[in-house]
Structure 1
Amino acid sequence: MILGISSICYEWWPVILVTCIAARLLHNKYGRGLHRYPGPWLAAYMTIWRFLENYGRRTEWTHINLHRRYGDVVRLDPNALSFADPKAIKVIYGLNKGMVKSHFYPVQQATAKGTRIQSLFSTLDEDFHAKYRRCLNSAFAMSSLVSYEPLVNSTLDVFLEKTEELYARTGTVCDFPKWLQYFAFDVIGDLTWSKRLGFMERNEDVDGIISFINGFFDYAGPIGQMPFLDLVFQKNPLILLAQRYGVSKKVFAVTKFAQSQSIHRAPEMEKIKANGLAPGTPKDGIDLLTKFTQAQHDHPEIMSDTTVLASSVSMVFAGSETTAIALSAIFYHLMKYPSAYQKLMAELDGAVRTGLIEDRGNGTVSWAEAQKLPYLDAVIQESFRLHPAAGLTLERVVPAHGMDILGEHIPGGTIVGCNAWVLHRRPEIFGKDVDNFRPERWLEASPKQLSEMKATMFQFGAGARTCIGKNISLLEIYKLVPSFLRRFEMELQSPEQTWKTHNAWFVRQMNFMTRFKTRQVKRDDAFTQSHVR
């Protein structure tokens, strides 16, 4: 009988193979109960659809167009749904909902000596995340911002002077997104280790760190759509074993830099780890490595040397990339919309004339001063709305018992999530002109409408997994933008020029070439409130 079955299998294997494949595809489409949700036809049958689509590097626009065509719930693969209604945010990302991150996130874990480094961002263990985050919350609290301002000022001063030296005086065209990346990386170096990485001084990608991170996200975006591939290409157990025993010396460029800084500061950190910060230590200017090590002293059961290293590495990976993208979006939109640019300059100059902003010699603006400028805030919020850094769905996995989302019962194990690019273009929330840059919408909105707009903004995520470095990013943005605009006039190399965007998980901008001219502000200029209305 066994020989008979073998003979049948040998003779009919093509039919059996096709039958098995067909059964698998039909199970993918119908077996999970998600067939009632519309989406690209191939997505219902095969995960390969979103893997290949992501390689097109325009996923944010694909998701926007899919939701405009199909409605608030779109199927992105046999086991994944995207939600466009802002009401879904509280359900999917709210506290105590039982949701966990999908396996998209561990793809982005760095490695050191063959060991994965779990970060706040990449860990799937919610209990570990909660304990880990509690250790670091004070370092990232809004109340800590003032203590970091001297470190940001240090880098900001250099950035303004190097912009003057390299571009404004010479008339040289600047690759503005790259230059802003250099600023963002050096700020993170100053904030984390009290040492800039050297991007601005050298005007180059130090040790290829930016190229490495760009390549890393180019990999993580599509591979994260089919995470098992990461176990083949990067986190293969054999590769990690070789690293652990020194056969392979490969170390992430960012991890290598963080390790070198840790070694350089080791004696100082060992004292803090053992005894904590000395009583009476001034709060201003204390870097994040010091605060991470203080957390290790306070919570040794959670914070290890590896966890401190992971926290430092995460600052470079996520903190610099997202801030650079936000800054690029703000400056680009100002140059593309001259009326908004003029209104913002009128507000800044008026604030200097009336003493709201101190007239410092280098043109810098403090965090406290920037908070008093409503049109600046509107410009920044509108840029966040039109170009959030993350361009993919922030994935969560529905708990085993299933969950109701917007009146739909979603089976357990289903991957669900929202994309900020989709949420930020809801006409019933932001108005019919959602694809236009119009900062005035933030000033004209009624209190109720403004509350809805703010609740829909998703550029930093939501819930317990909201970006912990959000406040530091805001500190950098609200200081650099007005300081740079006070110091320099800017214009695109060509008025018709349009940037190129590249969705590698974070949607970075490329090739909007810019010219700068040193700006002289005359304090006796006439200003009226009509300029900023």
Structure 2
Amino acid sequence: MALLSSLTLYASPTNIALALIGGAFASLLCLFIFRIYFHPLAKFPGPWYAAATSLTGAAVLYKRKHQQWMAQLIQKYGKDTPIRVGPNQLLFSSSAALKDIYWNPKTNTKTSYYSSGALGPTSLFGVLPSDDHRALRKALSNAPWTIGQLMNTWEARFGDLVTLFIQKMHDHAAAQRTVNLGEKCSEFAVDIMTMIAFGEPWGCVERQDEYRGIIRNFRKDLDFVGLTMTWEFLRDRILHSNLLAPLISRFALPNEKTQAGMGFLIREADRQVTAREKQNKEKEFEGQPDFLQHLFNAQFSDGSSLSPTQKHANTVLLIQAGADTTGVALTGTMREVLLHPDVYARIRAEIDAADKAGHLSKPILYRETRAHLPFLTACLKETLRLHPPSTSILPRVAPKEGIIVDGHFVPGGAHITCHIGTSNRNPEIWGQDAQDFRPERWLESPEKTTQMESMLLSFGHGPRGCLGKDIAFMEMYKLLPEIFRHFDLELVHPGDYVHQGPIQWVSGVQARFIARKKA
């Protein structure tokens, strides 16, 4: 009896709980020791706390200090060796690494960083295997992604929205209102993306209101987005758990039941896909195909079509990613120009000279901006360099046999990456004034400009770079010069950049539009 009583006491709930906690702690300690001292990446330099757990990077991202942290690590450990920034992740900082990582077919597979589900259903952006991505991208290539195709099929429609935007800003100017540049640029970008996605814009510019708060509500979730993408245990274990994933998905991840933001966009994309499928069954599509119709016309090499989920996911991607990033680039460029009076004066002089010479249409055409407004385009590129809409990492998986990156052997399965924010400010590429806003660097020589463009990470790099890059440039090259052509802008409040999750955006930039007499 005494023995039985002692066993009962030993097996009490408190003791069992303590034993479980102690066992979990011991397991974690062993895991951390292995990662820090015995992992295949243990030979690479980096902070021990980053090697021990990916929660380190997630916490830094959550505190909105990721850009500073990456810059500090590079300063401490240098650019000549990869830096271990996670249990299985190496950061490369040299220019040579860009080609080795992002242009090598062997490193074209993305890590699970892209597949947390926090950015909605799996689209072209979130397809991990290289072969699957290549097949889907080829199937989607029937749409007019390149600038030549866009000029032929969409530029006139873009011009109509630019004209409407200018009319609305004249209304604000007449009323002497102060406007939020970020909100106005987001409204324009949402209208552009919904127009090319569904054939007609959602009317944000007309109403002067962002429809259903797609961008505003998306940004509210960015901290959680960054956490799910960066913290491997949450991303790969909990969000793939049959028990916990449904609960988290219901309350934390975007879904069709949410009334605003990404949830609304997911629901609206589903509605549009369903309606278009019904219309196509009733009669053949007529007129200029929008991007949704291009998704229906897309075919894989075996002749099969995209699944309903793929049509839905890539519709969401087109609108959400294209609207937010372009809105940020537009706002950021105007902010930088207004913060540098000499730059602003030079832009106005350039536009006035081109206008006087009869080089500019109404509204301005893309090719005219490229040909006759080189300093303005340099300002845009310089803003994209210093303040890319995403300052995140771009991780890829090393092949199982391992690979040489910038002269260093990386074992198979390791995650290798560059960082957009620090790469775009690397003095090795951009010079000792890499931290400065100096648009002239893009005009010094054609050879140097070509080299810099090949090193710019703002739209990704290599065959998995942003497919909608030319759409963004079409928007920016048409709207920005038209704004400076028609208005003098008075900066009321400069606002600031907010680094949130994998994204950065400009908050609180307030300005007044003053109609120019010679517009």
User: CA–CA distance in 2 between the matches of 1:302 and 1:29?
Assistant: 47
Give 1:73-84 correspondences, 5 Å limit. Answer: 73-84=82-93
CA-to-aligned-CA distance 1:45-84 (integer Å, 9 cap, x gap): 2211111101112312321232123212222112111111
Q: Which residue of 1 aligns with 2:137?
A: 133
Q: Does 2:365 correspond to 1:366? A: yes
Q: Does 2:218 correspond to 1:219? A: no
What code does the residue aligned with 1:86 have? S
| Partner of residue 321 from structure 1, selected from 312, 320, 324 | 324
CA-to-aligned-CA distance 1:122-151 (integer Å, 9 cap, x gap): 111322211111111231123211111122
User: CA–CA distance in 2 between the matches of 1:297 and 1:428?
Assistant: 41
Deviation at residue 31 of structure 1 after TM alignment: 2.2
Q: Which residue of 2 aligns with 1:55?
A: 62
Deviation at residue 520 of structure 1 after TM alignment: 2.2
User: CA–CA distance in 1 between the matches of 2:235 and 2:75?
Assistant: 32
Give 1:35-184 correspondences, 5 Å limit. Answer: 35-72=42-79, 73-108=82-117, 117-139=121-143, 140-146=145-151, 147-165=153-171, 167-184=172-189
Give 1:451-530 correspondences, 5 Å limit. Answer: 451-494=450-493, 497-521=494-518
User: CA–CA distance in 2 between the matches of 1:439 and 1:207?
Assistant: 36
Would the aligned equivalents of 2:195 and 2:201 in 1 still touch at CA under 8 Å? Answer: yes
Change (3 A) 1:316 1:227: farther
Q: Which residue of 2 aligns with 1:529?
A: none
Change (3 A) 1:234 1:256: farther
Would the aligned equivalents of 1:404 and 1:410 in 2 still touch at CA under 8 Å? Answer: yes
Q: Which residue of 1 aligns with 2:215?
A: 210
Q: Secondary structure at the residue paired with 1:394?
A: coil
User: CA–CA distance in 2 between the matches of 1:376 and 1:403?
Assistant: 41
Q: Which residue of 2 aligns with 1:525?
A: none
What code does the residue aligned with 1:428 have? E
What code does the residue aligned with 1:434 have? A
User: CA–CA distance in 2 between the matches of 1:485 and 1:262?
Assistant: 38
Q: Which residue of 1 aligns with 2:3?
A: none
CA-to-aligned-CA distance 1:284-316 (integer Å, 9 cap, x gap): x54211222222599751412322222211111
What code does the residue aligned with 1:382 have? E
User: CA–CA distance in 2 between the matches of 1:13 and 1:409?
Assistant: 40
Deviation at residue 464 of structure 1 after TM alignment: 1.6
Q: Secondary structure at the residue paired with 1:440?
A: helix
Would the aligned equivalents of 1:39 and 1:70 in 2 still touch at CA under 8 Å? Answer: yes
Deviation at residue 232 of structure 1 after TM alignment: 7.4
| Partner of residue 288 from structure 1, selected from 288, 291, 300 | 291
What code does the residue aligned with 1:23 have? C
User: CA–CA distance in 2 between the matches of 1:288 and 1:342?
Assistant: 39
User: CA–CA distance in 2 between the matches of 1:482 and 1:221?
Assistant: 34
Query: How many residues are paired up?
Result: 495
Question: What is the RMSD computed on CA atoms of the aligned residues?
Answer: 3.0
CA-to-aligned-CA distance 1:359-394 (integer Å, 9 cap, x gap): x3xxx2111211112112211111111111111111
Give the TM-score normalised by the residue count of structure 1.
0.85
Would the aligned equivalents of 1:348 and 1:486 in 2 still touch at CA under 8 Å? Answer: yes
Q: Which residue of 2 aligns with 1:341?
A: 344
CA-to-aligned-CA distance 1:377-412 (integer Å, 9 cap, x gap): 211111111111111111111111111111111111
Change (3 A) 1:336 1:233: farther
Q: Which residue of 1 aligns with 2:309?
A: 306
What code does the residue aligned with 2:421 have? W
Would the aligned equivalents of 2:95 and 2:428 in 1 still touch at CA under 8 Å? Answer: no
Deviation at residue 262 of structure 1 after TM alignment: 3.2
CA-to-aligned-CA distance 1:217-265 (integer Å, 9 cap, x gap): 3322121112442477766646877999xxx973622111222333444
User: CA–CA distance in 2 between the matches of 1:352 and 1:200?
Assistant: 26
Deviation at residue 17 of structure 1 after TM alignment: 5.9
Would the aligned equivalents of 1:186 and 1:199 in 2 still touch at CA under 8 Å? Answer: yes
Change (3 A) 1:262 1:18: closer
Q: Secondary structure at the residue paired with 1:507?
A: strand
Q: Which residue of 2 aligns with 1:389?
A: 389
Would the aligned equivalents of 2:46 and 2:83 in 1 still touch at CA under 8 Å? Answer: yes
What code does the residue aligned with 2:43 have? R
What code does the residue aligned with 2:68 have? W
Q: Secondary structure at the residue paired with 2:83?
A: strand
Change (3 A) 1:263 1:488: farther
What code does the residue aligned with 2:128 have? L
Q: Which residue of 2 aligns with 1:196?
A: 201
User: CA–CA distance in 2 between the matches of 1:176 and 1:339?
Assistant: 21
Change (3 A) 1:392 1:400: same
What code does the residue aligned with 1:468 have? L
What code does the residue aligned with 2:280 have? M
Change (3 A) 1:224 1:169: same
Identity of aligned residues (%): 28
Deviation at residue 466 of structure 1 after TM alignment: 0.8
CA-to-aligned-CA distance 1:481-515 (integer Å, 9 cap, x gap): 10111111112104xx4514233211111112111
Q: Mean alpha-carbon deviation: is it higher for 399-408 or for 499-508?
A: 499-508
Would the aligned equivalents of 1:378 and 1:439 in 2 still touch at CA under 8 Å? Answer: yes
Q: Mean alpha-carbon deviation: is it higher for 301-310 or for 311-320?
A: 301-310
Change (3 A) 1:228 1:204: farther
Deviation at residue 353 of structure 1 after TM alignment: 0.6
What code does the residue aligned with 1:169 have? A
Deviation at residue 320 of structure 1 after TM alignment: 0.8
Q: Secondary structure at the residue paired with 1:508?
A: strand
Change (3 A) 1:123 1:13: closer
Change (3 A) 1:238 1:193: farther
Q: Which residue of 1 aligns with 2:270?
A: 259
Would the aligned equivalents of 2:135 and 2:300 in 1 still touch at CA under 8 Å? Answer: no
Give the TM-score normalised by the residue count of structure 2.
0.87
Q: Secondary structure at the residue paired with 1:490?
A: strand
CA-to-aligned-CA distance 1:138-166 (integer Å, 9 cap, x gap): 3112321111112212322222222222x
Q: Which residue of 2 aligns with 1:187?
A: 192
Structure 1: runs of 5+ lacking an equivalent: 112-116, 523-533
Change (3 A) 1:209 1:450: closer
Would the aligned equivalents of 1:91 and 1:97 in 2 still touch at CA under 8 Å? Answer: no
